[in-house]
Structure 1
């Protein structure tokens, strides 16, 4: 789930609890074959049957609500296997070609583990929640490895702590179900800070990029020395920085920062490119043709500023996928499409004609590292996400071209 979905879920949950309503959270804990959403997708169900967010394209929600209402009444968590294949005799017969496992648990804000997890989700902090799928308790693991709660037996607790810490150590950690040595399935849910998008330039074409990124859950920052351009009306939801090129040192991008230079002003772009490439942020894009980025680099070199090969590897020019984009809204879509593909390890190509599984995609350094010891499986609760499978096609390479 992205940060925007999580915000909507938490707002609805907090409002419901304030009204005295009871609620449950349904989470996808296993995916077999093709499915609409991946492990870690959540849906909120209230005791009146209302729901917030979705686990599928509309296939599962009514069934999950019925299960959730019973869980709210009984307080007993459940894991249900839903068959989405077209020819399933006793399944839902939806035709997606796969199946999913969904765990539903009543929300108990007085539970220390639940309270720690909800707080991490609200703050967007790096954290993990380990849940044995037989329903025996849960364990919270924070960013420094600290824990809340305890699993039994001790060997299972040690396995869950180790798996959660390893998961949190990945560049882009994702939820996964693992099998302990005892054979017990443990779901590792993850919360990560929202990705940061920094726009150098507050021009007209930055507005749709900021708006679309905010809707996708990015933490958007806009930098420009023209205060008249930096208004909440132009950039709702973004953090605005009125900084001249000489003041850029006051702003430090995050380790999850994605920086796009779009001042349409060569002098400002040159200083911003220097700031971006030396910031350590993993992704730096320059709007415009390759020649423009090269001009900026040549001008910096003429002034004695050069960059290491590692710094230049992070430069994306032209920024965005080759979609034929022209209008500002289309260019924004192109840029965000590349960002999504780059962050998740995909090459941004057509799905039609792709011979492999559509969720296999470890194509560059930003793609999630496989968790040591994780093994795909076939039984509910005994498999990992296909995006974590070790057989992704290594021949695919992330690319960047024109829009």
Structure 2
């Protein structure tokens, strides 16, 4: 049973902290947020500049998202996928982040049923046949597919070391491939990857073992794990606590970042606040645009925002394991950060607030009562269909020629 106690002395969020073999300058992490700044599966100057801005802004570590372990495992054809050609650009990125005093993490994973066959040219793999809201196509993953993808995670982690990353974050959430296997709503397989939780968790456990076997203790290994898919009959907190315990027992991860929601079935469950249905529809091509306008209010359901909105559920995972935990969800200022530290979380992860103000951590260190300027309108989510992910409230920033920069 976990030995954690709330009676411990809470650490200071801006004090250095150990994360596996790594020491971060503070306990804040720029969460993985798809940047839409890669081109042709390679890093660009714009992607490097994006992460340098967050490193210069004070975070302990910034996370590059999303780096697929295989070409068909992407949600967009321009996303980075791990191969030797991608390493020089990623090495430039990690060198630039390190020069600002921050660490760099790479989020690795396979999109599975969230993958986009129209964009990647490969199948959207899933436990079985599943309706995809945009492409309408998924392909049941064979055992050979799964074995290949497990090996690819290990290979990706080794390449992350070559590229200078300090950590990898294994994506086990949002109904991407490993998460879709965890979900009893999506996984109806009759083999040993379906049925009881131990079988549904088999792929996630095999992936994290492959990553640990590939890198040992040379870099930190994090995992992003769903607590709740946000759909009836989906993966939920009681099973998430058990999977977290299994990951702890196997020693394959150094920390867990608990998340929620399904990019396939209920994406707004993670992004509390406004649901910008019409803004989403405006970014999509004709037939899909019409479908989103009609079905969007059912798929993009809004949920009330409050600071630290995942804290209550994440406390239940905190009570179940001793692993270091990273609090995600509505972390916008010192009040939530200090509450998380007091509740036994070792790190906090921030996404929208840093997209609005990349230097927010520096501001909070200088003026602890600083309030985030993010108003949770979530229109930043719609910008991933445009040139680059950005906060619509912040001044537009571009390179001198107005481009996204060359792939490097």
**What TM-score, normalized to structure 1?**
0.31
**What TM-score, normalized to structure 2?**
0.30
Task: Compare relative contact order (CA 8 Å, sep 6+) and give the higher one, 1 or 2.
Answer: 2
More helix by share: 2
